[in-house]
Chain A
Amino acid sequence: MNSYPIELLTQLAPVMFVAGLDLSTSPAVDSSDTPISPQPSPSHSQDPFLQLVQRLRDALVSQRKPAIWQPEKSKTFQAILVDKDVRFPPRKLLSPEDPGYASSHSPLSPLTPSSPLYPDGLIAPIWVRKHTTLIPSVFVLFKRLYEFQASPQHPRSPLDLVFSEKEREREQEERRWDSELAAEIALRKRFTHERGMKLTVVLLATRKILDEPSLDTRLTFIRRQSGLDSRAALFVLSPVSQAELGEFISSLQQALYDPAVEYYTSHSKRVRRKRNRHSQSASAYPNPPALASGGGPLRPLRPEGWTVRYEYKMACFAEFRGEDEVALKHYQDAYEALIIMFGSIIILSPRTKRWAEAKVLADCINIKITKLYLYNNEHALAVSHHTTHMRRFGDFSRGWGIGEETYEYWSWMARQHRVLAELIELGTNSHLNSTLVIPIHKPIISPSSTIGIQRVGSPGIEMELNAIRSLIINPNHLLQHPGFYYYMAARCTEMRRERFNAALLALEDNQYHPGTLNPASNSPGFANEKKVDHFVLILELYTKAYEHFKRHAEVHAQTTQTQTHQGRLPLYIAYRIAQTYQDSGKYDMAIRFFERMAKTYRKEQWRSLLVPLLSTWYACAERLGDVDLCVRLLVEMLGYGIDGSEFEDLEDVESRLMRTLKDNKPSSEDPIVLDHLESQPLFDTSLVFWKPEAEVHELVAFQLSLAAPRDRSIQSLPFSKLEIYTKEDDDAPFIIEHVEQSDAEGEGDLVRRVELGQVGKERTEDPIIKASLRWRKGGILILTGTMSSRIPTYLTLSLLKLYLSYDAWKIELPLKPCKSRQPSNALESLWLSCLYPVRFIPITREDYSSVNVKHRPHKVTVSVNHRQPAYLNENYPITIQVTNVDDAELDVVVEVLLLPSDLDYAVNTIAVDEEQSSGLLKGISLGVLAPGVSAIKTLYLRSTEAAGDRTLDISVQSRSTTSATGTSDSSVAYPVDTPQPELLDITETLRTVVVPTVEPLKMTCDVTYRRAIGAQIGLADLNAFEEDFWDDGDGGEATVVSTFQCSGPWGLAIESLVLKRQDVLQAKIMTSSINEIGKDVFPSEYLPGDNFGDICCISISSQGKNGQHIFQPVPVPGEYEVAWKRILSDSEYGEPTITTFVLPPLQPPIDGLVALLNPPTIANLHQPIAMSLTIRNRHPTRSANITVHLDSDPSDGFVVAGLRNGRVPVLLPGGEEKLTWKLIPVECGYVQLPKLRVVDRRKAIASAQGLGGPGTDVEIEGVPVKIVDVRTEQKVVSILSTTGSGGEVKKDAEDAAAVDPNRIADVLVLP
């Protein structure tokens, strides 16, 4: 951008002239000649006004610095400090009094002969300078307001007699000074007014004056007198702080901005008028007199030129006003008009002064337009304009004879790229007002957009077209960071240099052939170009580009916080820089760049980039005479398979390397180490192990192959030795020394095999062997050997080192043991099986180049014995037998884990010795077992609650006792403190045992209930309050028949069966068969399927301790305890075990109203018997109204004496009534009892009332009450109890088929 006039590029802003702020002479200087000096001459630094002036100067000037990139639109001025008597340049050449004034023009007009633009110049930078430095839009005048200084000896006082006199004197003095000031302002006002500028006066005054009441009148006086505007024309400022000063300046600018805009608007209007007049009549301007007088080839400015001139001026004025859009429009118009002018040779003939000026103007307008677009972040438009500009002028250049084949063309192109780069750099510079954001092109390809493109043809889908529009981009209009444009500038400069060199060459040719002299050779441009150091230019541009690319990469790395390898783009620029250095002969610089680049390319395997780089690098090294580097590069080139075609003399790399070695001496004694393990190796190396796994101390066979390249020879390379390193011995490698061999010994073969023997730390032989280290084209050397390790590890080779020796040269060539040049052309993972003929076996496993060495597993047998199934509650023995069948002593530890059972309620424990656990038993030591010795541990499993499978994991860990001592010996190999588990010599043997568990016994219970027959105890019976009173009147009696069955597969020896009574309130066991006779039964042995049982009788009371009724179910009054042992095979018994079975809960029937009939079962003929009927009202709340009917029938076998039909007194709840009949049997045999009916009338009434309907003429006799024959009464509940207290299965209660509860049995009458 420096190559363009700065006036045409800077951002324009309204100009403000500031006068009266002179430092040397205080603004109060006017009053210095008066006898009453206002300042009692203080020192300059302490004078508050001087300080104020200084601050004002600084603040105003720093409001705006002229800059190219200034997008923000704050209302600031370009302040210029001027003398207060400054004069503006004349508007026209003649004075206004001159009669020719109207037709004369500005001194800069092309129409004025003295103008530099005369006669056909477009616009000159000087015009812009005139408006930015010589003519302001507003004029600010700083003046000191006069201040009357009362003499300090006479302090003013209202009481003072001379007060009024003093006051008058003061007023007069003030008035005098103010008039003077006003006159001066008026003079200045006249000047500014005629140029349409705003004049503003700032009066500096002390703070004291501000408070005086007379200030207003004084100010009004001054304004009126001087003819200042009423608005924003007069300010008063006292010395204030910096912050307040800033506020003042911003408010001043705020107030003056509108007048400034007005000023420039009026200019614009004037220019537009002129342009309109001009465009209406092309010949509006008479030809200047110079032409009229026949001034030779001078031609006046064409109408197009005037358009350019006016549009440019209007654009500038709009820019002054800060109206960017308007400015852009006018600049574009000016630019278009310029293009038209360039289009015609007649209008602008090439290579003239005006043409060059116009070209500069066009470039500058282009920059302005681009910049204005960028202000708005309209990237595409900006870049598009710039590229169009370059294309258009590129096209024009061809017409002008400075096409692509000339250096001028490329010089110009480079400048354009550079200008854009600099502009974007300014825009994005973080220190300046960076408003420009470089966009990222991010595509959004949604399914809807693909639909859109199919419908492009159909009209009216405006929305979708818009969507498509957002998906298309012209890559040419992409705004990128400045590095790209610097790069382009550098490329263009390279082209420029190339073309210039061609021109220079052509010139030299012409010198030999005089007569065909190229006219261009003598042009000043060519002479200029000769002075240019192109390389410096190119390097400068590339360096700038490099910086930008690098910064961009760094910024990106920071924002995303990724450690990805960035910087490939900078690397590319570095490549160009290196090339430029090489071209310019600075080989040392080039080499430095090459070194850095090669690192990345090696690492990322970009052979295609590395190969040319190596060649160029080598060329540089050769030029520099760096023999060591040459050798290094040649060896690396050999690895990459570069043939001699890259060199000028086509000498191949191998012989070149040999020649270099022969002709030169190394720079130092030290061997040259070519440590590019990342670069492509000279040999395809491959390490293959036959086995994937091995045991400690086992010899593992491996094959290491070194394959020479197939496409070029390395036969002459003098390899002297090969060192093979393993992981553990870096200091003592296995060495293969070269020995010359005759062809007969096999060097002629393509594949050669050399036996190494054992390699590594464990080897026993001398680690040096001799073999031929020469390779034919494509030759393969296969080294076979064995390795072993005494500790568990991954066994592999770590490094190979190949040495080249030639005279004094010692070159060390490290190789990875397994690396191929190309991904697909190696014999990796092939195992040489036969040499004559050559045969390979592919090893198809992933990590063929290493062996996993492990400890040999110990030979331990573990047997687990138990007799399944186990019984519940039993201490079930499981024996674990561990036998050491290894040949070394082993320390054996057992762990047992009882897996959680998925059975509900199951609580299980395992126990060994004294230890017991419900989960894991750890560290059960079996001690050190000598070879052949076995140890037995018995584990007890106790399962409760539920039958089912229990699972145990048994882990037997054997640790070799020798390895434990070995560990402490070789503390280098593994530190004792932190032994890695995989390194310890431990073998773990696992067993999983599933123990099915079943119940030993099953209990089945049958329960029968009977009602109590005895009379109920009276309410007032005192016995009821006795401690041991037992009232079974409501409960009755239950008979429980329990049957035990041996359900398991093993026989049981039952030690005892005991019914244990439990103290519950509502039930008590009356009798139990087992307690009476069971003592003789047990112990005895039972086989599977055998049964035994017990019958017990339980009396149930419905009353609790305090007499209150407790309802169902009745708690269990006792439990059976069965003590048993399992019968083992040979009359042995298992552990004694006790299983308990809980009696079932009792649920006696609950009655409401019941009638119990109790006749005798047997009677003798003609002997009277008594039959009683007990009616009980068990209903808790209701009374009962009972009638009893005995229906005698002639066929009855009885003669009945007693109540036939009768009403029983009302039975209250809990009440009972007993009726008795005498019967005399008159027949023998089973005689039916007379029919009895018991009817509850109360219920009948209730039901009749409940029905209430008119049609209920059913007999309202009542509801019959159930009559129970107590002789046959029973209620059976059969309960199957599976375990002692486990889940119960309740069968359906009443077994209806067995006994009809309503049946009344007959009486057997005997004769």
Chain B
Amino acid sequence: MAPGLRLNAVAFISPQNEPTLIRTFSKQDESAIKYHYIAHTSLDVIDERVAANSKLSECYLGLLYAMEDVAVYGYITPSKVKIVIALALSDSVVRDIEVNMIFKALHMAYYAAISNPFLALRASTDFVHDSPRSYSLLAGSQKWKNFRRRVDEISRDLGNPMTTNQDR
């Protein structure tokens, strides 16, 4: 894809604003928490964008904000799952189309993950009626490795060095 883009972190956030999966690909281990914060704070901007344009037909929300050394981009699926990526900030232009392509790939990875039939089996008994959680949360849990593997592959395809960090 785009050679200039360096993916630092990917976050999937459930429609209830709970983190589903947060993967960081940067080298510094101590900055993992930073990306958790970035994922959390970008919800503010996503809310803002969605509220400003309630008839949103486009999933891609564009550049949410730039802070310190990362540019944060957002994406919201039709089922209100939010995807946030943090790209390393460099003094070069970023094409929205390229970012959108990354998002599309991540979205497909998410689709593939929640299409896991065993997930549905598990989720049917996990449904607690006072705090409904879709099984998007499940997809990101430690138990299901396929999802994180796909996300990591996307990151690798972008040309990022593989560094797996622990998360959640």
Contact = CB atoms under 8 A, between A and B. Distances in A.
Interface stretch (B85-93, B109-117, B145-153): B85-93
A491 B97 contact: no
Contacts of A471: 95-97
A847 B33 contact: no
A829 interface: yes
A608 B126 contact: no
Interface of A: 387-388, 391, 440-445, 449-450, 453, 468, 471-476, 478, 480, 484, 487-488, 491, 553, 556, 560, 562, 564-569, 571-572, 575, 601, 604-609, 612, 818-820, 822-826, 828-830, 842-844, 846-847, 849-850
A474 B133 contact: no
23 contacts: A443-B61, A443-B62, A443-B63, A445-B58, A473-B93, A474-B93, A476-B66, A480-B65, A480-B66, A484-B67, A488-B67, A566-B47, A568-B41, A568-B43, A569-B44, A605-B16, A606-B18, A608-B22, A609-B33, A823-B126, A823-B141, A828-B125, A828-B126
A472 B40 contact: no
B168 interface: yes
Given A564-B47, A568-B41, A823-B138, A441 B62 contact: yes
A476 B141 contact: no
A560 B48 contact: yes
B96 to A, nearest CB: 4
Nearest to A383: B66
A572 B40 contact: yes
Contacts of B156: none
Interface in B116-167: 122, 124-131, 133, 137-138, 141, 143, 167
A829 to B, nearest CB: 4
A849 B129 CA distance: 9
A569 B46 CA distance: 12
Given A441-B62, A556-B48, A847 B71 contact: no
Interface string B45-68: 101110110000010111101111
A474 B91 contact: yes
B119 to A, nearest CB: 9
Nearest to B53: A442
Contacts of A608: 19, 22, 33, 36, 167-168
Contacts of B87: 475
Nearest to B100: A445
Nearest to A818: B128
A572 B67 CA distance: 12
Contact of A823 (B41, B45, B133): B133
Give the 9 A-B residue pairs with the shortest CB-CB distance, closest first: A475-B71, A443-B62, A560-B51, A605-B18, A443-B96, A441-B63, A608-B36, A829-B125, A568-B44
Contact of A476 (B19, B47, B90): B90
A579 to B, nearest CB: 11
Contacts of A562: 47, 51
A442 B62 contact: yes
A390 B129 CA distance: 54
Given A441-B62, A608-B167, A472 B93 contact: yes
Contact of B94 (A475, A566, A842): A475
Contacts of A823: 126, 133, 137-138, 141
A881 to B, nearest CB: 44
A440 B50 CA distance: 13
Contact of B51 (A453, A564, A819, A846): A564
Contact of A566 (B44, B49, B66, B126): B44
Contacts of B133: 823
Contacts, number: 155
A473 B52 CA distance: 21
Given A445-B97, A818-B128, A569 B17 contact: no
The residue in B19, B22, B37, B131 that gathers the most chain A C-beta atoms within 10 A of its C-beta is B37
Contact of B122 (A468, A566, A824): A824
A487 B67 contact: yes
B167 A472 contact: no
A127 B20 CA distance: 61
Contacts of B37: 572, 575, 609
Nearest to A559: B52
Contacts of A604: 17-18, 40
Q: How large is the interface on B (under 10, 10 to 19, 20 to 34, 35 or more residues)?
A: 35 or more
Given A564-B51, A829-B126, 9 more contacts: A445-B100, A472-B93, A476-B91, A560-B48, A606-B40, A609-B36, A824-B126, A824-B141, A844-B125
Contacts of A612: 33
Contacts of A609: 33, 36-37, 40
A824 to B, nearest CB: 5
Contacts of B168: 607-608
Contact of B52 (A474, A560, A571, A606): A560
A491 B70 CA distance: 14
Nearest to A384: B91
Given A608-B22, A822-B141, A568 B40 contact: yes
Nearest to B67: A484
A1003 to B, nearest CB: 67
Contacts of A445: 58, 60, 96-97, 100
A420 to B, nearest CB: 13
A567 B44 contact: yes
Contacts of A478: 63, 65-66, 71
A414 to B, nearest CB: 13
Contacts of B49: 440, 442
Contacts of A444: 58
Contacts of B89: 475-476
A468 B141 CA distance: 39
B34 to A, nearest CB: 10
A828 B128 contact: yes
B100 A846 contact: no
Contacts of B18: 604-606
Nearest to B72: A475
The residue in A388, A609, A819, A830 that gathers the most chain B C-beta atoms within 10 A of its C-beta is A609
The residue in B128, B133, B137 that gathers the most chain A C-beta atoms within 10 A of its C-beta is B128
A822 B63 CA distance: 32
A442 B58 CA distance: 11
B127 to A, nearest CB: 5
A473 B125 contact: no
Nearest to B87: A475
A472 B33 contact: no
Contacts of A487: 67
Contacts of A560: 48, 51-52
B126 to A, nearest CB: 6
Nearest to A561: B51
Contact of A468 (B58, B95, B125): B95
B66 A475 contact: yes
B94 A387 contact: no
Contact of A488 (B45, B68, B167): B68
A453 to B, nearest CB: 6
B90 to A, nearest CB: 7
Contacts of B60: 443, 445
Nearest to A567: B44
A846 B127 contact: yes
A443 B65 CA distance: 13
The residue in B94, B124, B125, B129 that gathers the most chain A C-beta atoms within 10 A of its C-beta is B125
B85 to A, nearest CB: 12
Nearest to B73: A475
Contact of A453 (B61, B66, B91, B97): B97
B114 to A, nearest CB: 13
B28 to A, nearest CB: 14
B29 to A, nearest CB: 13
Contacts of B36: 606, 608-609
A19 B52 CA distance: 55
A564 B46 CA distance: 11
A830 B125 CA distance: 9
A468 B93 CA distance: 12
B166 to A, nearest CB: 10
Contacts of A822: 141
